[in-house]
Amino acid sequence: MTYIAKPKFHHPGLPKNELGYTHRDYEGKISTLCAGCGHDSITASIIEACYELSIEPHRVAKISGIGCSSKTPDYFLGNSHGFNSVHGRMPSVLTGANLANRELIYLGVSGDGDSASIGFGQFAHSIRRGVNMTYIVENNGVYGLTKGQFSATADFGSKSKKGVTNTDNAIDLVAIALQLGATFVARSFSGDKTQLVPLIAAAIRHKGASFIDVISPCIAFNNHAGSTKSFDYVREHNDAVNRLDVLVGRDPISVDYAPGTVQVVEQHDGTRLALRKLDADYDPHDRLGAQNFLQKHAAKGQIVTGLLYVDPEADDLHAHLNTVETPLNTMDERALCPGSAALEKINASLR
Amino acid sequence: MKPTDISAPDYFHKVVDCQWACPAHTPVPEYIRLIAEGRYSDAYMINWRSNVFPGILGRTCDRPCEPACRRGRVEETPVAICRLKRVAADFKDDVRHRMPRPGPKNGKRIALVGGGPASLAVARDLAPLGYHCTVFDSDPKAGGMMRSQIPKFRLPDAVIDEETDYILNLGIEFKGGHRVDSLKKLLAENYDAIFVGSGAPRGRELDIPGRKEAAKNIHIGIDWLSSVSFGHTEKIGKRVIVLGGGNTAMDCCRTARRLGGDEVKVVVRSGFEEMKASPWEKEDAMHEDIPILNFMVPVAFIHDNGKLTGVTFQKVKAEYDAMGRRNLIPSGEPDETIECDDVLVAVGQENAFPWIERDCGIEFDKWNMPKVDPKTFASTNPKVFFGGDAAFGPKNIIWAVAHGHDAALSIHKMISGEDINERPLPEVHVTSQKMGIHEWSYDNDISTDQRFKVPHRDKVIALKDIRAEVELGYDVKLALGEAHRCLNCDVQTVFSAPLCIECDACVDICPMDCITFTENGEEDDLRQRLNAPAPHHDQALYVQDGLKTGRIMAKDEDVCLHCGLCAERCPTGAWDMQKYLIDMTHAGSTCQSKARSAA
């Protein structure tokens, strides 16, 4: 870790967003992770996405569990709300917070240990309920804090730093998220910010359960030959199906696309996602197709990245439950606790 | 772009903006670090080696380093480099034992005309090599314009005495009160080389109506300053007008304030912003209640039977032609007459070589200036060299010193029978500063302090005593604070592509967004694609290729804080912080092996 604070000076020509903030204004404390950790790049990507979307920092709640990845919310959005929960319990805390106040933007930050082992059930249920959130898994395939044991996402047959071969099958969180009904599913790589930043931005603007699996090499324990989550391996086996540009508001599509290569998806809130197809046959609206595509390529040892599935008309948990729009913290006591007469009425209706 | 060749001595030198801008290439960050460590004597000696007059320059330098200082691009004000130099001089111990000794005599004799900074710098470089140096000056003591024209309230005699003595004590023969009035005669004395460092001693005239009639109360600025300096002039009228906008004008008006001038005004032809005087000298003048009136051209001296009563000015305004050249044209307002008792004319200085016969092998150009090679400082007479203001017209002390170093090298090479046009390359040392995983042998924690003000003597007291130094200099605490503002630009970011795994850690941590990994391209195109704007084409892009993905690393040197966080966050040591020291070639360094002294 670094002992000095990151200097406050910033580049004099740094652009500002609509709110007058530079991307430096979205930073948090200096990272205490190992030098070169992929998680720090994801942190930088979240900062960049929030900056580009001109998000007011106090409108964001960042919630995490336990692990290297779950430490990272301390390193971005220093002026946002944060909750560092129990191991694997981020999805429940996030769901509760979201139910109490739907007006915040919810960022769930987790790791492969946090989400694929101890919190696997939590992960699954928050996805299937369609909680409006951006669920990011910083996936390095190992338990970094306890010195590099295989996690549940480590690929079968991959080797640990000490040369031990993994004999367990891997959990593919993307495949599970697709199966459980996530309405925005993507995979990316910490070493490819041009792909990752727009994915995070699009996920934040998506209404519904967004899930992004980000392969994030562990420099200390999982960046060797034999690893399938190393910089070199991911770069060699990365099969990006598309590239994304996020267009907010009425911005004209300023990028020149060759005709027929771009597909524009408009989300609920008017955000347009310009998808540049890299794989001509890939259709991000076909959940079944996506699942097949993913399995086929995984069998060939390829890591499929990009926006894999999006349902632009998705709804969220609040819509399913028909909850009140007002955040609970702005309701008065009478509304929150209508008294015994109201309770009697409800009870009577259930008899 | 082609990968940057960081082994070229100039590449990293340019990154050290202050050192690159300094004509004598003083290793600024190196001595500032020593000041921060309290090693004032070591800091002084580093300065002394480069610029010969640290105590004098620390008070009077024109500071080309400060506008260049990177700190000025990162925040509002540059590091107070000049005043830190004075700190080294003020707080050093006795350094006499660290000075070079006169070398065993080599039997060669050098004559130096003028006892100012240029000649003294030449003598300083040549005496330790065994040359017998004879310095001629019409004034009784050495120092030239440093002694005669800079007011004592800016530069006390004691400082000049100390620093000229360090040089004269190298066995130099100083012939004070001896004006050289014929180069022919000097040549006839068979010196092995002659160096002309006689300055630009003639103040420019202002030939407008009334000049002759009112001559008694119209004084040429530099002559008047020199007369004050030697105690011949002790008072001036109550109302004084100073004509001119350079540093001499500033010295004139402030001196006049101390000799009885209650109402002193500076009047300049140009606009206030375009004045030649350094901003801090203008500030000091205004602080002493001296107004500066601009866009006023003097058209006549008004007098009453030879007794000066005022100056009439035409009001002008600036207009710029299609080429961007400025013309001053009448604004149409009525002329204004300002009443006064005395006028000081400080509208420029000129060279004058009435003592150089035109038939002794020295060619003159159409401006009546000797033809001097800008690299070797040789004239068309192979034995005669020029430097300082005498070579290319009025500049300032630091330029004179730089000329002196180069001329001394030429003289040494010429007498050794070598080609003076072959200039040996400077010696460069690059050393890693890594001490531990996150430890560096320099202080990489960036101070956000604003520039510290140098304490001044109380104005009432300062204006009463012409010899009372106005600036008191930083104390140790202020000096430490100011020293910490230095960004250590000589501790270079050095990148090794084969070690890089392209994890982006350096990109993410860099507080100034200097680093980009991207596809290669031509420079203009590349500058558009960096993570932060890179509009300053004079600031290099550091480019390295050979990365696994085929991209390049491009770092804009412009506003790098040299905080070393890229190297701290690099998991593979692809970034390292390495201190770059450059030893400029001085006379003697070609034939002597030099081990750099501590520091």
Segments in chain A forming alpha helices (H)? 38-52, 68-71, 90-100, 112-113, 120-129, 173-179, 193-205, 231-237, 287-299, 317-321, 333-336, 340-350
Confidence class for position A255, pLDDT limits 50, 70, 90: low
DSSP 8-state code for residue B149: T
**Contact at CB, A37 and B505, closer than 8 angstroms:** yes
What is the per-residue pLDDT across B306-338, written as a single tens digit (0 to 9) for each?
Answer: 999 999 999 999 998 888 888 899 999 999 999
Confidence class for position A263, pLDDT limits 50, 70, 90: confident
**Contact at CB, A9 and B561, closer than 8 angstroms:** yes
- With b for 16 or more beta-carbon neighbours within 10 A and e for fewer, the A176-213 pattern comes to bbbebbbbbbbbbbbbbbebbbbbbbbbbbbbbbbbbb
**Contact at CB, A44 and B501, closer than 8 angstroms:** no
Query: What percent of chain A has pLDDT above 90?
Result: 85
Helical packing angle, B81-91 and B476-484, nearest 10°: 140
- 3-state secondary structure at position B190: coil
Integer angstrom CA distances of residue B302 from B70, B290, B413: 49, 22, 57
Nearest to B446 among A2, A9, A43 (CB): A9
Q: Which residues of B touch A193 (CB under 8 A)?
A: 504
- 3-state secondary structure at position B144: coil
**Contact at CB, A193 and B533, closer than 8 angstroms:** no
Inter-residue contact B141 to B164 (CB < 8 Å): yes
pLDDT attached to residue B324: 85
**Contact at CB, A43 and B533, closer than 8 angstroms:** no
Least confident stretch, A242-256, A310-324, B537-551: A242-256
Nearest to A7 among B504, B508, B561 (CB): B561
> At residue B593, does pLDDT exceed 90?
no
| Residue A309 burial (C-beta neighbours within 10 Å; 0-12, 13-18, 19+) | buried
Integer angstrom CA distances of residue B221 from B243, B248, B490: 9, 7, 41
The residue to which tokens 């690099």 are assigned: B570
Pairing of strands B296-304, B307-320: antiparallel
The residue to which tokens 């001693």 are assigned: B201
- Tokens representing residue B178 in the block: 């001896």
What sign for the dihedral angle of Cα B94, B95, B98, B99? negative
**Contact at CB, A14 and B532, closer than 8 angstroms:** yes
**Contact at CB, B572 and A2, closer than 8 angstroms:** no
pLDDT attached to residue A213: 98
pLDDT attached to residue A265: 84
Tell me how far apart the alpha carbons of residues A24 and A10 are, in angstroms, rounded to a whole number. Answer: 7
At a CB cut-off of 8 Å and minimum separation 6, what does B417 contact?
none
Q: How far is A263 from chain B (nearest CA, A)?
A: 25
Integer angstrom CA distances of residue B255 from A185, A333, B150, B281: 78, 79, 10, 13
Q: Which residues of A touch B75 (CB under 8 A)?
A: 9
Q: Which residues of B touch A31 (CB under 8 A)?
A: 509, 569
> At residue B230, does pLDDT exceed 70?
yes
Tell me how far apart the alpha carbons of residues B448 and B485 are, in angstroms, rounded to a whole number. Answer: 7
Question: What average pLDDT does the segment B504-533 reach?
Answer: 95
What is the per-residue pLDDT across B87-123, written as a single tens digit (0 to 9) for each?
Answer: 999 999 999 999 999 989 999 999 999 999 999 999 9
What is the per-residue pLDDT across B428-445, written as a single tens digit (0 to 9) for each?
Answer: 999 999 998 888 999 999
φ and ψ at A105, to 5 degrees?
Answer: -90, 125
- Tokens representing residue B162 in the block: 């100390």
Segments in B230-375 forming alpha helices (H)? 247-258, 279-287
pLDDT attached to residue B598: 34
The residue to which tokens 């004032």 are assigned: B40
Question: What average pLDDT does the segment B335-360 reach?
Answer: 93
pLDDT attached to residue A185: 98
Confidence class for position A251, pLDDT limits 50, 70, 90: low
**Contact at CB, A12 and B501, closer than 8 angstroms:** no
Query: What are A84's strand-pairing partners?
Result: A64
Pairing of strands B173-176, A303-310: unpaired
Residues listed for chain A? 351
At a CB cut-off of 8 Å and minimum separation 6, what does B568 contact?
A2, A35, B438, B509
Nearest to A11 among B559, B569, B572 (CB): B559
Nearest to A6 among B503, B511, B532 (CB): B511
Q: For residue A218, which of A149, A283, A280 has the smallest C-alpha distance?
A: A149
pLDDT attached to residue A260: 63
Inter-residue contact B404 to B388 (CB < 8 Å): yes
Query: What are B132's strand-pairing partners?
Result: B109
**Contact at CB, A4 and B502, closer than 8 angstroms:** no
> At residue A231, does pLDDT exceed 90?
yes
Inter-residue contact A107 to A64 (CB < 8 Å): no
**DSSP one-letter string for B43-69:** HHHHHHHHHS-HHHHHHH---THHHH-
Residue type, A22: T
Q: Which residues of B touch A191 (CB under 8 A)?
A: 502-504
What is the per-residue pLDDT across A39-55, written as a single tens digit (0 to 9) for each?
Answer: 999 999 999 999 999 99
Q: Which residues of A touch B507 (CB under 8 A)?
A: 44
Tell me how far apart the alpha carbons of residues B111 and B174 are, in angstroms, rounded to a whole number. Answer: 10
Neighbour count for residue A317 (Cβ, 10 Å):
20
Tell me how far apart the alpha carbons of residues A302 and A22 are, in angstroms, rounded to a whole number. Answer: 37
> At residue A16, does pLDDT exceed 90?
yes
| DSSP run (H or E) holding B390 | helix B389-392
Query: What are A95's strand-pairing partners?
Result: none
Q: For residue B404, which of B16, B53, B30 has the smallest C-alpha distance?
A: B53
What is the per-residue pLDDT across B488-518, written as a single tens digit (0 to 9) for each?
Answer: 999 999 999 999 999 999 999 999 999 999 9
pLDDT attached to residue B599: 35
Query: What percent of chain B has pLDDT above 70?
Result: 98
Neighbour count for residue B189 (Cβ, 10 Å):
10
Q: How far is A185 from chain B (nearest CA, A)?
A: 24
Q: How far is A6 from chain B (nearest CA, A)?
A: 7
> At residue A250, does pLDDT exceed 80?
no
The residue to which tokens 């192979």 are assigned: B382
The dihedral over CA atoms of B87, B562, A22, B551, expressed in degrees to the nearest 10, equals 160
Nearest to A10 among B444, B511, B535 (CB): B511
pLDDT attached to residue B594: 39
pLDDT attached to residue A266: 84
Tell me how far apart the alpha carbons of residues A49 and A196 are, in angstroms, rounded to a whole number. Answer: 9
Chain A with chain B: Cβ pairs closer than 8 A: 99
Nearest to A14 among B438, B509, B513 (CB): B513
Please indicate whether residue B402 or residue A248 has the higher confidence score (pLDDT).
Answer: B402
Secondary structure E strands in B152-285: 173-176, 193-196, 202-203, 218-220, 239-243, 263-267
Question: What average pLDDT does the segment A257-278 reach?
Answer: 78
Nearest to B503 among A5, A31, A38 (CB): A38
pLDDT attached to residue B580: 95
Question: What average pLDDT does the segment A325-329 reach?
Answer: 94
Tell me how far apart the alpha carbons of residues B483 and B473 are, in angstroms, rounded to a whole number. Answer: 14
Helical packing angle, B28-36 and B476-484, nearest 10°: 130
Q: Which residues of B touch A37 (CB under 8 A)?
A: 503, 505
Q: Which residues of B touch A2 (CB under 8 A)?
A: 438, 509, 565, 568-569
Secondary structure E strands in chain A: 60-64, 81-84, 105-111, 133-139, 142-143, 149-150, 184-189, 209-215, 238-240, 242-247, 262-266, 272-277, 303-310
Inter-residue contact A50 to A19 (CB < 8 Å): no
For chain B, how big is the Rg over CA atoms in Å? 26
Q: How far is A23 from chain B (nearest CA, A)?
A: 10
Q: How far is B39 from chain A (nearest CA, A)?
A: 25
The mean pLDDT of chain B is: 94
Question: What average pLDDT does the segment B247-258 reach?
Answer: 96
> At residue B146, does pLDDT exceed 90?
yes
Question: What average pLDDT does the segment A78-106 reach?
Answer: 97
